[in-house]
Amino acid sequence: MKLSKMRLLIILLLIFSCRPKEFESLSSQINDRPVEITEIKFQTILDSAALNGSILIFDESTNQFHSNDFEWSNTGQLPASTFKIPNSIIALETGVVDSDTSILKWDGEPRRFESWEEDMTLREAFLRSCLPCYREIARTVGLERMKEMTSKLEYGNLKFDSTNLDLFWVQGESTITPFEQIDFLRRIANSDLAISNRTDEFIKKIMILEENDSFTLRAKTGWSIVDDHDNGWFVGYLTIQDSNYFFATNVEPGEGFDMDDFSRIRKEVTMAAFKALEVI
């Protein structure tokens, strides 16, 4: 059956009246998509330090990702002690710990490091990366609440049950990518997590690693060892005036690397990358 001229005209008008809005929506989506810029100078920094891996930096003001290796930045690794960020949030949200100054008691048992062998506040436990402290927090939170909260926070791909509740972030099959780390950090910085204002305030205070006239650095290191294979993190964000710069560095020792330097080198290469971008 042939369409009447009037009906055909109405259909054509409807089609063309919708097209500009569709094109505008598509254009907006394209423009909102972050740009990925490969940084050879980041690779030079890692090569000079005898490290393999990636440095991933996100400039929120320009909507740009910078990295030497975007494939590595999309690869999941054990969260290691970077999980102390969400674990602190979970402790505060569940009431297991009341505030950043709440005291975590030492049970008197020998610990790996002398700095762990004393009572300390939550913030001190975070800065000293006290694994026994956070294992106790996880056990007190319990399996069901931990599952509920990690799902709510949308942090990586975590796999745990009652058998590894207090170690799943350093052992097992849990993973998070550098891109996922930055997504989580952005939600912290922009207060987009489904948490109380009180917890939001405490976690931003707990995470401060360095503060000076130029910037505030909120960050956490992480280090996992699986089958003698070392993997290290340094994740966080720099606040300079009103701008935030997010980073997730994930590295492994290369040939000839001195493992005595692994604790400090993750921060050093990250800050070198910021200097290469002339951010600091």
Buried b (16+ CB within 10 A) or exposed e, 49-88: bebbbbbbbbbbeeeebbbbbbebbeebbbbbbbbbbbbb
> Pairing relation of β-strands 51-59 and 35-38?
unpaired
- Does the active-site annotation cover 81? yes
> Pairing relation of β-strands 216-226 and 208-211?
antiparallel
The catalytic residue among 67, 81, 88, 174 is 81
The CA distances from residue 88 to 93, 133, 167, in Å, are 9, 11, 15
How much helix, strand and coil, in percent to the nearest 5, is found in the chain?
45, 20, 30
Element (H, E) at 5: helix 5-32
**Which residues are catalytic, by number?**
81
